[in-house]
Structure formats: structure tokens, C-alpha cells
Structure 1
């Protein structure tokens, strides 16, 4: 067996949870890689909702989907992930976050703990049993450690009767390597 890198493991978790026809969320669209990955998983009957606060990210994601001829499978929204509940009310099979900043853009524009936790709460309310929320946490930037700590504190309090919370990381890597937190819904409240 070979250990999967962080992004490979995040994709593995999504593949295990998403089937054709599902509704899923990319809470941080960024350059559109996860949105495209999810669009391939949900099929023509499914729907991806992708959120980002930067016009540059919305355009990059839309372009990536258009180039792959999968634009019809996704709705790309210029808004913060804390507003997910304004756009989605149907059950969700999975969601992914890449916390931090948009690569190749202004590093001062970062995800924030309060809006991230609000988004997680909204998604957990919509999440199907056996659905998953994957957080890829990049924390080696200004504000990153604060967000990392607050998110870990929040997910650590989720009741184990309803949610399993996993942390996947490499302990011997230097320079604040990213890691995954995965939340699986195991039972309805």
C-alpha cells in the first residue's frame, strides 16, 4: 500500500461519497480544479454549486468547466461560502473546501474562521447520511493558523453519534504542509 498525498486522499474521499445525480458543493472554487473534478463525478443528472468571493476565481472556474464541456453540471456563484443556505436547500452528498488563499492572486484575501465554520454548519444541515465534507487546510500563511485552530476546535465538538471526524496529515513534513479534515454524517438528528 502507498500512502496517498493530501489532495489524492481528498479526491478519494469524494469518489467514495459522490454518485451520478448527486448535488455537491465546492465551497472555495478557486481555480476550478475541484469543481471540475466534482462535475465529472455527478454526471449529467447531478449539480455542483461552486462558491468564491473573487471574480477572478469565478471566471477561472467557469472557463475550466466550459473547456471541458461540463458547464451545464455546475452553478458558479460569486458569493461567500457562508451564504450557501441562500442557494441550496436540497440534500447534499459531499462538499470540499480548500482553506487559505487563491493561488496566483492576492494573498491578503483568505478564508476566515467565522465564515468557514458558518459554511460547515450550513452544509452539515444539508448533508445526507454517509455524505462527507472534506476540508483541505492550508495554514502556512498570515491568518492560516488561527483558522486551522478554530476549525479544529469546532469539528472536535461535533457529536460522535451523528458525525465521524478524521484528520489526515503527514507529521514529518516541513513548512506547514496542508492536511485534510473529513466529516462524515453517520446518522440524522
Structure 2
């Protein structure tokens, strides 16, 4: 019987994010998918915090709402949990407060049409907003899946983008498991260490 390994990109990410998430915080799932990250964030910041989750696919929204209701979180939907069927490049249309944690999983919705993928243009637009909205001490986590068509282009664009981020304002960690997979997921953690000087 296989073990429930902590050495998976999703689990490693959560171990690090647990240090930043607490009841009353504000968190964003930038790529809702099937709702597992949305649920994780809700379990960390509720009952007094807020979670915003974004996806352009209606079936992702429906899957997430179904999961949240199954986990007895339905009463928070619409007040403290906001599941939004829109692109993450429009964060600022929906979120007015500063944010403790943003989570991204870049690729396509598991179990769905793998031709519908995240793309570099909207991803980078949303990261521009996320960096601005992030609290000092807050974290942006990004897991990059790139084994699909279009994935390598997004990976390269993200690497270039992150290379231009100010090292005075942000600390960036990169990790992967190079011996376990042909295209192993890449984890990026971006911590805001200080506010931008005016």
C-alpha cells in the first residue's frame, strides 16, 4: 500500500504556507480547479477570515462549491468565501484588502479539457497585482506543471518574470524533485520582505 507522502509539491507548499495562515487572515486561490486549495485555505483562515477563489471555467466553480458544502462550509459562501468565475488577472475588481497568501497551480484543470490552460499573459498580469496586494511577510506560492502543450512557454515566461523581481522587496525560493518525474512540478515561493520605496 503506498504511503501518503509529504514529498509532493502540493504538500510541501502547504507545510510552508501553514506558517503564514491563521484564523482571521485573507487568502486567495488564484486557480480554483477542483477546490482542494480553496478548501485548505478556508480551513486555515475561517471562521474570521476571508477566501477568494478564481477560475474561468464554470465546472471548476461548481466542483469547488460542491466540495465546500460537503465539508460543512456552505454557510460561509458569499460572505467570507467568494468563488468567482473570472480570470485571476482581475483580482483588483473583487478584492480590496491586503492579502496574506496567494496560491497558484499553473497548468490545466485535472479531469477536464486539457486544452484550456493557464497562459503567460494572464498569469503575469495577475502576479503583478498579487505582488502589490500582498502584505509584508505574505507569501505567493506557485506550482508550475509544464508537461502539457503550452506549459513550457508559460514556465519560461514565469522564469523571466521572476528574474526581474526586486530582491530588495521580495525573497524567492525555487524547489523541485528532479529525479522523480520527466517534467517534475516546480515550486516557487515569493515572500514580500518590505514595501516598495516611494
Pairing 1:10–2:17 present: no
Match of 1:146 among 153, 156, 176: 153
Number of residues of Structure 1 aligned to a counterpart in Structure 2: 188
Q: 1:43: how far off?
A: 1.6
Q: 2:143 aligns with which of 132, 136, 147?
A: 136
Q: State the shift of 1:173 in Å.
A: 2.5
Normalising by structure 2, we get a TM-score of: 0.92
Q: Partners of 2:94 and 2:73 in 1: how far apart?
A: 20
Query: C-alpha deviations, 1:108-158, integer Å up to 9, x for none?
Result: 000000100111111111100110000010000000000011011101111
Residue 3 of structure 1 and its aligned partner are, at CA, apart by 7.4
Cross-structure match for 1:66: 69
Structure 1 Cα separation of the partners of residues 188 and 63 of structure 2: 26
Preserved contact between residue 156 and residue 165 of structure 1 (Cα < 8 Å): no
Q: Which residue of 1 aligns with 2:168?
A: 161
CA displacement at 1:4 relative to structure 2: 3.2
Most deviating of 170-179 and 100-109: 170-179
Distance 2:181 2:29 in 1: 28
C-alpha deviation, 1:174, in angstroms: 2.8
Query: 1:19-30 to 2 correspondence within 5 Å?
Result: 19-30=22-33
Aligned residue for 2:138, secondary structure, equals strand
**Secondary structure class of the residue paired with 2:11:** helix
Normalized against structure 1, the TM-score is what? Answer: 0.96
* Alignment equivalent of 1:182, drawn from 182, 185, 189: 189
CA distance in 2, matches of 1:170, 1:176: 9
Unaligned runs of 5+ in 1: none
Gaps of 5+ in 2: none
| Matches of 2:39 and 2:6, distance apart in 1 | 24
**How far is 1:19 from its partner?**
1.3
Q: Distance in 2 between matches of 1:167 and 1:135?
A: 10
After the TM superposition, list the runs of 4 or more consecutive aligned residues in structure 1 that deviate by more than 3 angstroms. Answer: none
Once residues 14 and 114 of structure 1 are traced to their aligned partners in structure 2, the CA distance between those partners, rounded to angstroms, is: 26
Tell me, in whole angstroms, the C-alpha distance in 2 between the residues paired with 1:164 and 1:10: 16
1:136–1:179 CA contact under 8 A, matched in 2: yes
